């Protein structure tokens, strides 16, 4: 699969908010750019810390577990834009959202990769902010 490892539409389906919840994004292209940037950053992170990369080839299918952790990291990165020290809020779209500490998400991603048999690399990776 081409880089990044998850399509923008797949990430958008996993979000509990939309572009209307981000007043700073004034156009669809800005929103799409935000999503693509988050996916690329998350994909680079995962790619740098797993051993088995035979799925990185253009025609290969990215494993489900890798797609899942990329979505979780990207979702956390986008949530971090809104977070700003709060733990929950009601969104413009009418949805409610509870924020989770970034370290909790990183710990879950690390555990998921370990359980799936992927080497998680340098521990320093897990202490760096998303």
Closest CA to 107 of 69, 75, 74: 69
Are 21 and 93 contacting, i.e. CB atoms less than 8 angstroms apart? yes
Q: What's residue 17's pLDDT?
A: 77
| Cis amide linkage into residue 58, ω under 30° from 0 | no
Q: Cα–Cα distance between 110 and 113 in angstroms, integer?
A: 5
pLDDT in tens, 2-46: 578 899 999 999 987 788 877 676 688 888 998 999 999 998 888
Which pTM does this prediction carry?
Answer: 0.72
Task: Give the range with max mean pLDDT: 18-32, 73-87, 97-111.
Answer: 18-32
Q: Cα–Cα distance between 77 and 2 in angstroms, integer?
A: 21
pLDDT in tens, 14-23: 987 788 877 6
Residue 82 CB-density burial (10 A; 0-12 exposed, 13-18 middle, 19+ buried)? middle
Q: What's residue 99's pLDDT?
A: 62
Query: Considering Cα of 101, then 5, then 46, then 109, what sign does the dihedral take?
Result: positive
């Amino acid at each position: 699969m081409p880089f990044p490892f998850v399509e923008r539409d797949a990430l958008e389906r996993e979000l509990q908010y939309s572009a209307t919840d981000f007043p700073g994004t004034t156009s669809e292209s800005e929103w799409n750019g935000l999503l693509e940037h988050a996916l690329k950053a998350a994909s680079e992170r995962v790619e740098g810390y797993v051993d088995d990369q035979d799925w990185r080839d253009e025609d290969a299918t990215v494993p489900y577990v890798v797609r899942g952790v990329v979505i979780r990291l990207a979702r956390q990165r986008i949530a971090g834009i809104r977070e700003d020290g709060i733990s929950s809020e009601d969104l413009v779209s009418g949805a409610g959202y509870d924020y989770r500490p970034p370290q909790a998400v990183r710990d879950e991603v690390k555990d998921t990769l370990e359980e799936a048999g992927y080497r998680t690399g340098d521990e320093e990776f897990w202490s760096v902010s998303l």
